[in-house]
Chains A and B, each alone.
Chain A
Amino acid sequence: DIVLTQSPATLSVSPGERATLSCRASQSVSGKLAWYQQKPGQAPRLLIFAASTRATDIPARFSGSGSETEFTLTISSLQSEDFGVYYCQEYSNWPPRYTFGQGTKLEIK
């Protein structure tokens, strides 16, 4: 099975600064990589799919990049509401496994 490793575990960034989150896959996921944001007590929200496509109503400050095994989520100018835990997920395996990474906690400095 594919393993997704996210780094760092915790990231502390000041408002207005750039945040960069990483996700590494143990084998190629052929670009089938998504990012989610989860705030305490809430369900996850889809941010990015197909490695770099923003989901509906997601602000342009969120961008995704990468291919094969190395992926990045960038928040260009951090807003206070961007705190939470961010998860990457692959959806390339057959039969489906929909593996999630362990998450990166983004704190507002």
Chain B
Amino acid sequence: EVQLVESGGGFVQPGGSLRLSCAASGFTFSSYVMTWVRQAPGKGLEWVSAISSGGSNTYYADSVKGRFTISRDPSKNTLYLQMDSLRDEDTAVYYCARGRALIAVLMPFDFWGQGAPVAVSS
């Protein structure tokens, strides 16, 4: 059974940092593109970042480029999102999700974690 479990969410002041983790199980982690999607309170879905199956290629939404860093550790089957210079507008539930097909980058997301809440406020 595919499982994605996020952790590391919490409360942080503007300008602060936070690192989210997503522990994956039930599939060959190193064979799939992984991604982060967020949802601000009462709002829709916003893609944040994606990383290729091997970890060598990363992609970011313009709203987080230069502030967030996605990475993955195949030895731990874990996906990360390092969030720096956080702003009020980064407040959201952050979901990790798996690309649907092996290796391919341009794919929808077929499995999602339960989400990690992040609150940025002074």
Q: How many A-B residue pairs have CB under 8 A?
A: 60
Q: Is A66 an interface residue (CB 8 A)?
A: no
Give CA–CA (A38, B95) in the complex, Å: 13
Of A43, A87, A89, A101, which is within 8 A of B113 by CB? A43
Q: Is A44 an interface residue (CB 8 A)?
A: yes
Question: What residue of chain A has the Cβ atom nearest to residue B4's Cβ?
Answer: A43
Identify the stretch in A19-27, A71-79, A90-98 within 8 Å (CB) of chain B at 4 or more residues: A90-98
Question: A36 to chain B: which residues have CB within 8 Å?
Answer: 45
The answer to whether A94 and B106 touch across the interface, beta carbons within 8 angstroms, is: yes
The answer to whether A87 and B45 touch across the interface, beta carbons within 8 angstroms, is: yes
Question: A85 to chain B: which residues have CB within 8 Å?
Answer: 44
The answer to whether A46 and B106 touch across the interface, beta carbons within 8 angstroms, is: no
Secondary structure dominating the interface of A: loop
Give CA–CA (A36, B109) in the complex, Å: 9
Of A55, A91, A92, A100, which is within 8 A of B46 by CB? A100
The answer to whether A96 and B112 touch across the interface, beta carbons within 8 angstroms, is: no
Question: B109 to chain A: which residues have CB within 8 Å?
Answer: 34, 44, 46, 98
**Which residues of B are at the interface with A, using a C-beta cutoff of 8 A?**
35, 37, 44-47, 50, 59, 61, 95, 100, 105-110, 112-115
15 A–B pairs (Cβ distance < 8 Å), ordered by A? A32-B106, A44-B95, A44-B109, A44-B112, A45-B112, A49-B108, A49-B110, A91-B106, A91-B107, A92-B106, A95-B59, A96-B50, A96-B106, A98-B109, A101-B44
